Structure 1
């Protein structure tokens, strides 16, 4: 088992970039499903029977709650001047040597075959990879939905660290 260091403890770290991974608005689907089921029951003549809408409320909200919690753990991103956290993996900024340029053209750059940071097997769906060169010549992919903003913040932090 690989043990990754957690974020350094500081009083109030300056967060330069943050993505939560998933929005809590998905949890509204449970009450919407229950209200829809209630509407179907009432409009079809069965009257007000709360058991089935209650089951929909509990099951849909519970299932989506688990999904949102998992997404918030595994696909969240946080960048501070000291560390970059991708999901449950945290790397120190001092371990990042270089940020590779964006991929352009039909040829895939070598960094796109590198492992994605975080404990997932690849770059999460809906996110775009950013090539990073780590100490000892290793390559990896940082990722985010708003990858351009993360790239700008990463470049500035890595340049500041190198200076």
Structure 2
């Protein structure tokens, strides 16, 4: 094997899930406690700020690590990784257009909006938007991302360049795009 094949493919789209900058809330909490002690006129003790520093930093670091595992997104030329689940781009037959109605609205949803979300989470993570995918075998799923339009823009050409030549010979009688008005 060559060194080029051993290296990771370059991501076309990437979201980390969370930023390590959030761990700075621990030192900010400790500094706040010191300032409270100074302003209250009490004797400055470093024990309570040290406890806040360790506890808050550890808790937030745990949350950031979990988000970076379960809510990260990476698209390469060959695969789409959503959290810990990876599907091959060749398994994606179609990227559905953006939904007309939000999941939060009472209006009718597109069929793909009720499909399972990729990844091991029970649904589309908070502050992320779903992207409808038709997969091989007639399956439907939702990819998701915070910057969902960027993911859609990167994913759609990958699917179209592979599927369009085959689709020109066949008619797709698919009605999964949602309600028509």
Query: Is TM more than 0.5 here?
Result: yes
TM-score of the two chains, using structure 1 as the length reference: 0.91
| Structure 1 counterpart SS, 2:126 | coil
Question: Judging changes above 3 Å, is the alpha-carbon distance between structure 1 residues 16 and 156 closer, same or farther for their aligned structure 2 residues?
Answer: same
| Structure 1 counterpart SS, 2:28 | helix
Match of 1:64 in 2: 60
Q: Is the 8 A contact 1:99 1:132 kept in 2?
A: yes
Equivalenced residues, count: 155
Matched, 1:122 2:118: no
Please give the per-residue CA displacement for 1:102-125, whole angstroms capped at 9, x wherever unaligned: 111542100000000000000000
| Structure 1 counterpart SS, 2:122 | coil
- State the shift of 1:56 in Å: 0.2
Q: Which runs of 5+ in 1 are unaligned?
A: 1-8
Match of 2:154 in 1: 153
Question: Judging changes above 3 Å, is the alpha-carbon distance between structure 1 residues 10 and 104 closer, same or farther for their aligned structure 2 residues?
Answer: farther
- State the shift of 1:10 in Å: 4.4
Matches within 5 A, 1:2-21: 10-21=6-17
Name the CA distance, whole Å, in 1 between partners of 2:71 and 2:44.
41
- Calculate the aligned-residue CA RMSD, in Å: 1.2
| Structure 2 counterpart SS, 1:142 | strand
Give the one of 27, 33, 38 matched to 1:31: 27
Match of 1:80 in 2: 76
Matches within 5 A, 1:94-133: 94-105=90-101, 106-133=107-134
Q: Which runs of 5+ in 2 are unaligned?
A: 102-106, 166-181
Name the CA distance, whole Å, in 2 between partners of 1:38 and 1:114.
50
Q: Is the 8 A contact 1:15 1:78 kept in 2?
A: yes
Computing the radius of gyration over CA atoms, which structure comes out larger, 1 or 2? 2
Q: Is the 8 A contact 1:112 1:131 kept in 2?
A: yes
Match of 1:138 in 2: 139
Match of 2:45 in 1: 49
